[in-house]
């Protein structure tokens, strides 16, 4: 990679106008995340065209296996990328390279473990997923192929995070796009042309992830990146591993806790009828657009905060935080107004039932109020991960889910029924924005004062 490209990436992390840096790092990630949404829906869409409900059910039943792979890859990717960004900010490029190599090694080791254990206990896993007589064989076929190709799924996810940690956001997006395009092309070919049905969908998913991972590796091999893995670090030091796990494990637990809260929400909705569940599902899918916008900005801000924390540039960290909050809040407010004005129209894209449209519009017009708040909460949480302070990030998640959201779900549902239940999340996020901002701003200010005292 040329010095000019290297200087440009470092300039974005260290010196570029905060608002411009947030947009430059965040917008490509938002595009990439929207691509990943498409990636996840492709198999379901094409299997749906087979008109076989059992195969379609099997794809859904197998999805938790994919989520476990992503959770483990996220542990490695988040932990390593946080440390890489901080090392680059502190000028310790060799430690950053050591961390990158450790990230590669851990991804390979965990993918082999997942594949080996998964295949050994395949029947038990499929039963645990809820597959019955008519779906068992299809689910087993799909899961087996996913497990065999676990290195591609986990590698594609974690390697993309490594690229973003050094500011190479565009390269990580290229991998996402290539993987999605390959999957879209292969799905109809393998499912219909070659008659592989659900096995074809699984193979297309694995090959698509493999193509995305290969693109990331190609950038490293061709020297297009700031860092490259090194053979001399093939056996990671305990210190490096400890720092990766310190940030990575809480990040994985956050995903699992959020999933648990989502399951409770769905179980409560079942009590109000199947149409209500369907309507809530549609509203949540529509809201996911806003979720990916704020997640993109938060993920883009993460390396900016990590780099400047490593460099001890606390005033710039505050400026990045202020710019990020204004940008993500303004964007989400616009989306919220659009949802509020056209909620029935959007719900109608997915269902022709007047009852579903009515309930779905009501749900969307309630849960849309999370949008001005949740982006800032996510940005604060990821900033703590970027600084290598995962306990603070995990505490935000614990308070958010266990102290506010889940209890509010149960209490408001019992007191006010469905109307109360759908207000639990907006109330939670309105409280958490204050808690998160105060915690992060106070932490940065305290560190700034400590450094000033040391210099005297």
Is residue 350 within 8 Å of 282, Cβ to Cβ?
A: yes
- pLDDT per residue of the chain (456 residues) written in tens, 0 to 9: 555 555 666 676 677 787 787 777 777 767 766 666 666 566 666 765 776 657 766 776 677 788 788 888 888 988 898 888 888 878 888 898 999 999 999 999 999 999 999 999 999 988 877 677 777 888 899 999 999 999 999 999 899 888 878 877 778 878 888 888 898 899 899 989 898 888 998 999 999 999 999 999 998 888 888 888 888 888 888 999 998 998 888 777 776 677 667 667 766 776 776 567 667 767 877 787 777 777 777 777 777 877 887 777 778 888 888 888 888 888 888 889 999 999 898 888 766 678 878 988 998 999 889 888 888 888 888 788 777 777 888 888 888 888 898 899 899 999 988 888 889 989 999 999 888 888 888 887 887 777 666 655
Which pLDDT belongs to residue 445?
82
Confidence (pLDDT) at 36: 62
pLDDT computed for residue 275 by the predictor: 64
User: What local confidence, expressed as pLDDT, does residue 113 receive?
Assistant: 96
Task: Report phi then psi at 223, rounded to 5.
Answer: 70, 30
CB-based contacts of 456: which residues, under 8 Å, 6+ apart?
Answer: none
pLDDT at site 127: 81
The pTM for the full model equals: 0.66
What are all long-range contacts of 233-239, with beta carbons under 8 Å and residues at least 24 apart?
A: 233/97, 233/98, 233/101, 233/102, 234/101, 234/105, 236/98, 236/101, 236/102, 236/105, 236/106, 237/98
Q: Take residue 349 and report the two structure tokens written for it.
A: 């894209």
Q: What is the pLDDT of residue 427?
A: 92
- pLDDT of 104: 93
**Residue 412 has what pLDDT?**
92
């Amino acid at each position: 990679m040329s010095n000019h490209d290297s200087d440009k990436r470092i300039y974005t992390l260290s010196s570029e106008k905060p608002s411009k840096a947030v947009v430059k790092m965040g917008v490509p990630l938002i595009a990439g995340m929207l691509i990943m949404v498409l990636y996840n829906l492709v198999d379901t869409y094409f299997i749906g065209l087979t008109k076989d409900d059992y195969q379609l059910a099997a794809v859904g039943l197998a999805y938790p296996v994919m989520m476990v792979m992503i959770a483990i890859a996220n542990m490695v990717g988040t932990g390593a990328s946080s440390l890489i960004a901080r090392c680059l900010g502190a000028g310790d490029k060799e430690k950053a390279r050591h961390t990158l190599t450790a990230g590669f090694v851990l991804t390979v080791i965990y993918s082999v473990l997942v594949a080996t254990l998964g295949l050994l206990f395949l029947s038990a896993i499929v039963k645990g997923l809820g597959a019955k007589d008519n779906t068992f064989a299809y689910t087993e076929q799909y899961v087996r192929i996913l497990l065999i190709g676990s290195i591609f799924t986990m590698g594609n996810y974690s390697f993309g995070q490594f690229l973003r940690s050094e500011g190479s956001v565009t390269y990580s997006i290229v991998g996402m796009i290539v993987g999605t395009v390959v999957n879209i092309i292969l799905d109809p070919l393998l499912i219909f042309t070659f008659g592989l049905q659900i096995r074809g969908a699984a193979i297309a998913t694995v090959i698509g992830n493999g193509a995305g991972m290969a693109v990331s590796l190609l950038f490293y091999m061709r020297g297009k990146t700031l860092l490259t893995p090194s053979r001399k670090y093939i056996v990671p030091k305990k210190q490096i591993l400890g720092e990766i796990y310190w940030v990575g494990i809480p990040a994985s637990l956050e995903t699992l806790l959020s999933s648990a809260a989502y399951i409770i929400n769905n179980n409560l909705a079942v009590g109000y009828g199947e149409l209500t569940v369907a309507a809530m599902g549609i509203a949540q899918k529509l809201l996911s657009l806003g979720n990916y916008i704020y997640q993109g900005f938060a993920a883009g801000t993460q390396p900016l905060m990590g780099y400047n924390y490593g460099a001890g540039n606390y005033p710039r960290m505050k400026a990045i935080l202020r710019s990020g909050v204004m940008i993500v809040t303004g964007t989400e407010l616009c989306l919220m107004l659009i949802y509020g004005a056209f909620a029935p129209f959007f719900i109608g894209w997915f269902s022709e039932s007047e009852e579903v449209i009515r309930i779905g519009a009501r749900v969307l017009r309630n849960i849309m109020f999370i949008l001005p708040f949740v982006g800032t909460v996510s940005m604060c949480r990821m900033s703590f991960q970027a600084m290598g302070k995962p306990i603070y990030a995990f505490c935000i998640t614990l308070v958010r889910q266990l102290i506010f959201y889940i209890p509010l779900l149960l209490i408001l549902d019992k007191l006010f029924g469905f109307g109360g239940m759908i207000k639990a999340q907006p109330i939670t996020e309105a409280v958490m924005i204050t808690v998160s901002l105060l915690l992060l701003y106070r932490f940065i200010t305290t560190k700034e004062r400590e450094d000033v005292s040391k210099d005297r």
